[in-house]
């Protein structure tokens, strides 16, 4: 069997749009994705439904997969002929161990490509308003690991060369040893007034920065309780932030929304939320699966042999109905039932395939049968058809990638608000919780529930999900005002 292909892909620092097009294409082809903690989990939603995901992030104090295990996993899957993506935060070669992992593949003659990414030291600096080079203020820069390699845990660095030879220095993984880093730099010739900026979770809406000088930064960072992932930028070029900050000073900076559907109708709202500084993740958390033949065969036979009124509920259900009929060896021309359309959209799709139908509102119903996708999700009802039987033509399921992405987005606090814009959003979300055995209470505890429109809010309340914020229509100005009002109230109380 021919061996597979491995792509080492740089995922960029956080903002999901900072992955390269080439990296994204590789991800979409992957059979197996082996990913780190520091990638934005939302990237996982755009891969194949049946892709296998392996998490190998090292969480503080808890090693999930050792380096040898990661390398073994890559090798095993590549040897089985799979397309493997090793997805790494930032750039795979900047403190990302791609050298070791690729070396092993080279030894085993397995094909690979390395797709660069935007490293945190470049992206998080720019997102905080600091250009890493500048004609006047920074003619050179270095990236340096602050991770210890000496016996006492401190970094093993030629401090003298570093302090004297480079104008701007970016430390990765350096928070734990910040005191040592600043002391060594001052001892070796950097002025104690040299400006320093620390950027945590750079390029996410929740990006935080703390500024100071070599003399003051360690205390300030401790007080602000900044932890990894954060970079430390040393050099007077960071003073430009005062003028150039563009990202983390917007009215919705720090806000992150998950909308559990992706609809064209939300386009304007989403663009506007992003423009005001929020992270917005929109995604259908459910995937459709076709019904198994035994799940629908009896009902389809009934449709064919008895006089019933079939009410097709959506344009999509027209096609799933015809497909199911054909697959069961039944002939549309021979069915005894009449076909009705729920609305004009359905009627015109039926017309396109040569079926003339009447609108359900113009007909007296006697033995109706509702035909649709997953009726629980569609949430459609037809007046006068309360006693209708139902023919369900597709079911919802949850792909591993979507539950993984959702859980990691919440656990890493990349999402602080769930935003519901329609009744269908709510029913899809409830179904997602049910199918993944997730605790509703736990999710509700972790996030703010923001609801737009009466319909959605009623369904949330019916399901004991308290609505924290509510506005009538999808209007961003109103949404922002709502946040500000709450902020003012909090200040007053
Ligand atoms: N390959 C990655 C770096 C991996 S080392 C890259 O090129 O960016 C992990 C360290 O990178 C973290 O401890 C932190 O110092 C830095 N880092 C990664 N993502 C970051 C982010 N979004 N904001 C700030 N620092 C980040």
Residue that terminates a domain, selected from 53, 84, 117: 117
Whether 235 is in the pocket of ligand 1, judged by its Cβ within 6 Å, is no
Q: What is the rounded distance in angstroms from the CA atom of residue 90 to the CA atom of residue 87?
A: 9
Q: Which atom of ligand 1 is nearest to the CA of 207?
A: 23
**Mutation test residue for ligand 1: of 144, 145, 229, the one with most atoms within 8 Å of CB:** 229
Work out the pLDDT band at 345, boundaries 50, 70, 90.
very high
Q: Are residues 226 and 333 in the same domain?
A: no
- Does 98 share its domain with 185? no
Q: Is 299 in the same domain as 428?
A: no
Average pLDDT over residues 79-87: 97
The Cβ-side half-sphere exposure at 481, using a 13 Å CA radius, reads 8
Residue 197: CB atoms within 10 Å: 24
Whether residue 491 is predicted with pLDDT greater than 60 in this model: the reply is no
**Does residue 152 sit within a domain?**
yes
CATH number of the domain where residue 451 is located: 3.40.50.10090
| Structural domain boundaries, residue 240 | 122-244
Alpha helices, DSSP H only, in 170-249?
178-187, 217-224, 241-244
Q: Which of 86, 89, 204 to mutate to test the pocket of ligand 1 (most atoms within 8 A of CB)?
A: 89
Ligand 1 atom nearest the C-alpha of 204 is 22
Residues 450 and 467: their CA atoms lie apart, in Å, by 6
Please enumerate in sequence order all residues whose Cβ is within 8 A of that of 142, keeping only pairs 6 or more positions apart, or say none: 162, 165, 166, 168, 169, 170
pLDDT at 56: 86
- Please say whether the dihedral angle defined by the alpha carbons of residues 312, 318, 320 and 323, taken in this order, is positive or negative: positive
CB-CB neighbours of 332 under 10 Å? 14
The answer to whether 336 and 364 have CB atoms below 8 angstroms apart is no
Phi/psi of residue 59, nearest 5 degrees: -90, 155
∠ CA 228-46-436, nearest 5°, is 80
**Residues with a known catalytic role:** 36, 58, 173
Q: What is the pLDDT of residues 91-101, one digit of tens each?
A: 999 999 999 99
**Separation between Cα atoms, residue 233 and residue 230, nearest integer Å:** 10
pLDDT at 348 over 70: yes
Same structural domain for residues 342 and 418? no
Per-residue pLDDT tens digits for 376-394: 777 677 777 777 888 888 8
Cα of 171 vs centre of ligand 1, distance in Å, is: 9
User: Quick one: 272 and 421 in the same domain?
Assistant: yes
Q: How are strands ordered across the β-sheet holding 358-359? A: 358-359, 338-341, 309-312, 368-372, 389-392
Nearest atom (ligand 1) to Cα of 36: 4
pLDDT of 62 reads: 57
Both 403 and 282 in one domain: the answer is yes
Question: What is the distance in angstroms between the CA of the first residue and the CA of the last residue of the chain?
Answer: 69
Same domain, 93 and 213: no
pLDDT at position 20: 98
Mutation test residue for ligand 1: of 8, 13, 36, the one with most atoms within 8 Å of CB: 13
- The answer to whether the CB of 203 is under 6 A from ligand 1 is yes
Instruction: Dump pLDDT digits (tens) for 235-285.
Output: 999 999 999 999 999 999 999 999 999 989 999 999 999 999 999 999 999
Q: Where residue 192 falls among pLDDT bands split at 50, 70, 90?
A: very high
Decide: 8 in ligand 1 pocket, CB within 6 A.
no
Distance 402 CA to ligand 1 centre (A): 24
Of the residues 85, 117, 149, which one is the last residue of a structural domain? 117
pLDDT at 485 over 80: no
Domain match, 20 and 91 both: yes
Q: Is 13 in the pocket of ligand 1 (CB under 6 A)?
A: yes
What pLDDT does residue 489 have?
61
| pLDDT per residue as tens digits for the range 203-223 | 999 999 999 999 999 999 999
pLDDT band at 404 (very low <50, low <70, confident <90, very high): very high
Is 326 exposed, middle or buried (CB count within 10 Å of its CB: 0-12, 13-18, 19+)? exposed
Chain segment 299-333, per-residue pLDDT in tens: 888 887 888 899 998 888 899 899 888 888 888 88
List the beta bridge partners of residue 35: 55, 87
Q: Is 96 in the pocket of ligand 1 (CB under 6 A)?
A: yes
292 falls in which pLDDT band (50, 70, 90)? confident
Q: Would you say the CB of residue 155 lies under 6 angstroms from ligand 1?
A: no
- Give pLDDT, residue 334: 86
The count of residues in the chain is 493
CA-proximal residue: ligand 1, atom 24 (nearest): 230
> What CATH code is carried by the domain that includes residue 111?
3.40.1010.10
Q: Establish whether residue 14 lines the binding site of ligand 1, counting it when its CB lies within 6 angstroms of any ligand atom.
A: yes
Domain count for the chain: 4
What's the pLDDT score for residue 328?
Answer: 83
Q: 251 near 211, Cβ under 8 Å?
A: no
Asked if 423 and 378 sit in the same domain, the reply is no
Mean pLDDT for 390-399 is 89
Query: For residue 484, what pLDDT is reported?
Result: 77
| Distance from the alpha carbon of residue 85 to the mean position of ligand 1, in angstroms | 19
* Of the residues 397, 414, 438, the one at which a domain ends: 397
- CB of 38 within 6 A of ligand 1: the answer is yes
Query: Do 59 and 193 reside in the same domain of the chain?
Result: no
pLDDT given for residue 487 in this prediction: 64
Q: What is the rounded average pLDDT for all residues in the chain?
A: 92
Q: Is the pLDDT of residue 164 over 70?
A: yes
Same domain, residue pair 343 and 406: no
**pLDDT single digits (tens) 51-65:** 999 998 755 555 667
């Amino acid at each position: 069997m021919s061996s597979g292909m491995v792509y080492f892909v740089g995922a960029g620092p956080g903002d999901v749009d900072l992955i390269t097009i080439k990296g994204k294409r590789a991800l979409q082809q992957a059979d197996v994705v082996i990913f780190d903690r520091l990638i934005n989990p939302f990237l996982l939603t755009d891969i194949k439904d049946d892709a296998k995901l392996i998490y190998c992030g090292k969480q503080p104090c808890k090693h999930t997969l050792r380096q040898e295990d990661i390398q073994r996993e890559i090798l095993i899957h590549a040897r089985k002929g799979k397309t493997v993506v090793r997805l790494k935060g930032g750039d795979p070669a900047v403190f990302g161990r791609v050298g070791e992992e690729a070396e092993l593949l080279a030894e085993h003659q397995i094909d690979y490509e390395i797709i660069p990414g935007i490293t945190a030291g470049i992206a998080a600096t720019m997102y905080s308003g600091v250009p890493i080079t500048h004609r006047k203020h920074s003619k050179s820069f270095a990236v340096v690991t602050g991770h210890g390699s000496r016996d006492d845990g401190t970094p093993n660095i030629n401090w003298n060369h570093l302090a004297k030879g480079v104008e701007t220095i970016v430390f990765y993984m350096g928070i734990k040893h910040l005191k040592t880093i600043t002391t060594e730099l001052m001892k070796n010739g950097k002025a104690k007034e040299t400006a320093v900026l620390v950027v945590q979770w750079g390029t996410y809406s929740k990006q935080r920065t703390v500024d100071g000088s070599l003399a003051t930064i360690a205390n300030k960072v401790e007080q602000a309780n900044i932890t990894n992932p954060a970079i430390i930028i040393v050099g007077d070029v960071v003073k430009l932030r005062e003028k150039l900050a563009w990202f983390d000073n917007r009215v919705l900076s720090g806000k992150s929304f998950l909308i559990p559907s992706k609809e064209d109708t939300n386009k304007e709202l989403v663009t506007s939320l992003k423009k005001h500084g929020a992270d917005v993740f929109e995604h259908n958390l459910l995937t459709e699966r076709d019904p198994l033949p035994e799940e629908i065969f009896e009902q389809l036979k009934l449709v064919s042999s008895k006089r019933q009124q079939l009410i097709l509920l959506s344009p999509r259900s027209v096609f799933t109905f015809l497909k199911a009929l054909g697959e069961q060896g039944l002939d549309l021309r021979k069915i005894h039932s009449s076909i009705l359309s729920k609305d004009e959209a359905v009627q015109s799709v039926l017309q396109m395939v040569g079926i003339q139908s009447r609108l359900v509102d113009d007909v007296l119903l006697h033995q109706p049968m509702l035909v649709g996708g997953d009726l629980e999700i569609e949430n459609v009802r037809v007046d006068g058809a309360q006693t209708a039987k139902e023919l369900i033509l597709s079911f919802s399921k949850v792909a591993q990638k979507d539950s993984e992405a959702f859980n990691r987005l919440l656990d890493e606090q990349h999402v602080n608000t769930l935003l519901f814009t329609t009744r269908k959003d709510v029913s899809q979300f409830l179904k997602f919780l049910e199918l993944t055995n997730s605790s509703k209470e736990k999710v509700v505890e972790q996030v703010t529930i923001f609801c737009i429109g009466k319909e959605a809010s009623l369904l949330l309340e019916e399901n004991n999900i308290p609505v924290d914020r509510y506005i009538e229509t999808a209007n961003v100005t109103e949404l922002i005002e709502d946040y500000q009002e709450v902020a003012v109230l909090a200040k007053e109380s």
